[in-house]
Amino acid sequence: MSIAYPEFHASRCTRYRFRYSECRCCAEVCPHDAITLSDEGVAIDSARCQNCALCVTACPTDALTSGGFKPVDMLRQAIRQDRFTIACGPSGAVADAVVPCLGTVDAASLAYLAKRRIPVTMRGATHCSECAHGARGAAQLALNLDACEVLTKAAGTADARADWVAPEVESAITAGLTIGKDDRFAASRRQWFRRLVGRGADELAQATEPASSALPTPDKAIRSGAYALPERRELLQIVCQRRDDRPVSVPLHEALPLMALSLRPGCTTCEACFRVCPTGAIGIEESPAEWQLKFDTDRCVGCAVCIEVCQPGVLAVDAIFDARPEQPARVLLAMSKQRCARCDRPFVSHAPQGTCPICRDDEDAFTSIFG
C-alpha cells in the first residue's frame, strides 16, 4: 500500500470559494491535528500527517485527494469478484484491498457494492484501540456504515431492500460504541448540522430586520473556479437509481454528499449562491424575458457553502428529499425582466422599478456628492 500525502485543490474548497466559510470537515476528522484552516483553504503539516486519508473521505467537494488512495480503483477490483475483503493497513490484516484506515471507505462505495450484491468484509477494526488514528477512524467507519444503511432503507420496499448485501465488519465494535468516544468528532457533527440551517435557529429567531435589508456579500469574499463533481456523487446517482422510477427518499446525513434546497421569500437576487457553488448545482438561466435561479440535485454535494453565503438567510435545506438521478432542475425563483429607463439595460427586481440598481447607485452617489 502506497499512500501519498493529500493534495489540496483550492478551487474545490468551500473555504477558498467563500472567505468566511466555517467548514471544518477535514480538520475535525484529522486525528493528528495536521490540518490548518484559513480563508485561503487548507494547509497540511507533513510532519504531523500520518497518511490516514480520513480528510480525503470527509471532504464533500474532493478538495483533498490522495494519489495513492483511489476508491474507484478498489471498486473496479471488487466488481470482478464474488466476494471482497477490505483491510486496515496499520492492523496488518490480509485482504483483497488494503486501505490506510477503514474509515476512509466512504458510504457511497459501500452502498454501491451492497446494491450489486457483492458481500464485503472489513478486517482490522479490532486494531482501532491501538491505532494512532483509531478513535477518529472508528467513528468515521460507524458513520459510513450508518449512511449505507440509510441508503438501503431508502432503496424501496422491504422486498427490494432484501436484495442488497450489507457490509460486515470483523470486530465487536458497533456504531453505538464508537461514535460517542471522541468528543471532538461529535462536536464536528453538531457544527455540520448548524451550518446547514444557516446561522443557526437561534440567530434566525432573533432576526428583526426584513430579509431584503441584509447587506450583500462583498465581491472580494467570493472566488471563482472551475466546476468539479466528485466521483462519490456520481456513484450515488447509480446507487439511487430505481428501475421502477419510484422516489428514493433520503434523509440528510453527514456522510452522504447529498442535499436538496428550497427558497423562502426574501431573495435579493444577488446571485452569490450561484457564484460560490463549487459544483454548478446552483445555476442562473436567462431569456430575453425571464431570469431563473435553478437547483440541480444531481450536482449538489451538500457542502452548504451556498447556505453560508446567503445574506438574507432564505436558502433552506430539505430534511428529506428525493435522491433519484436525472430529475429536472428545480426552479427556486423565477422573475420577469424589466428594462431600465435610463441605460436601457435589462434587470430583475421584486417590485417595478424605473431604473436599474447601477443607475440608482449612480444617482445616489451624485446626490451625496453634489446634494
**pLDDT (average), residues 293-316:** 95
Fold of 221-340: Alpha-Beta Plaits (3.30.70)
Higher pLDDT residue, 157 or 34? 34
List the single range of 33-37, 115-119, 352-356 with lowest mean pLDDT. Answer: 352-356
Distance of CA 359 to the CA centre of its chain: 38
Rounded CA gap, 347 and 356, in Å?
6
> Which residues touch 119 (CB under 8 Å, ≥6 apart)?
82, 83, 84, 165, 168
The confidence score (pLDDT) of residue 75 equals 95
pLDDT grade, residue 133 (50/70/90)?
Answer: confident
The confidence score (pLDDT) of residue 324 equals 93
Q: Where are the domains of the chain?
A: 221-340, 341-371
Higher pLDDT residue, 85 or 344? 85
The confidence score (pLDDT) of residue 288 equals 85
| Residue 92 contacts residue 131 (beta carbons within 8 Å) | no
Higher pLDDT residue, 230 or 127? 230
Q: How many residues does the chain have?
A: 371
| Residue 275 contacts residue 284 (beta carbons within 8 Å) | no
**Single pTM value for the model:** 0.83
Distance of CA 274 to the CA centre of its chain: 15
**pLDDT (average), residues 321-345:** 90
**pLDDT (average), residues 15-42:** 94
**pLDDT (average), residues 222-234:** 93
Higher pLDDT residue, 314 or 220? 314
The confidence score (pLDDT) of residue 161 equals 53
DSSP class of 18: B
DSSP letters spanning 163-198: TS---EESSS--HHHHGGG-HHHHHHHHHHHHHHTT
The confidence score (pLDDT) of residue 22 equals 92
Work out the burial of residue 269: count CB atoms within 10 Å of its CB; fewer than 13 is exposed, 13-18 middle, 19 or more buried: middle
List the single range of 145-154, 304-313, 338-347 with lowest mean pLDDT. Answer: 338-347
The confidence score (pLDDT) of residue 58 equals 94
> Which residues touch 220 (CB under 8 Å, ≥6 apart)?
19
The confidence score (pLDDT) of residue 132 equals 84
**pLDDT (average), residues 278-301:** 94
The confidence score (pLDDT) of residue 180 equals 40
What tens digit of pLDDT does each residue of 154-193 get? 876 544 555 899 999 986 544 344 434 455 555 555 555 5
DSSP SS3 for 205: helix
Nearest to 55 by CA among 26, 18, 19, 24: 26
Average per-residue pLDDT for the chain:
84
**pLDDT (average), residues 17-22:** 94
| Residue 355 contacts residue 363 (beta carbons within 8 Å) | yes
pLDDT over threshold 60, residue 210: no
pLDDT over threshold 60, residue 116: yes
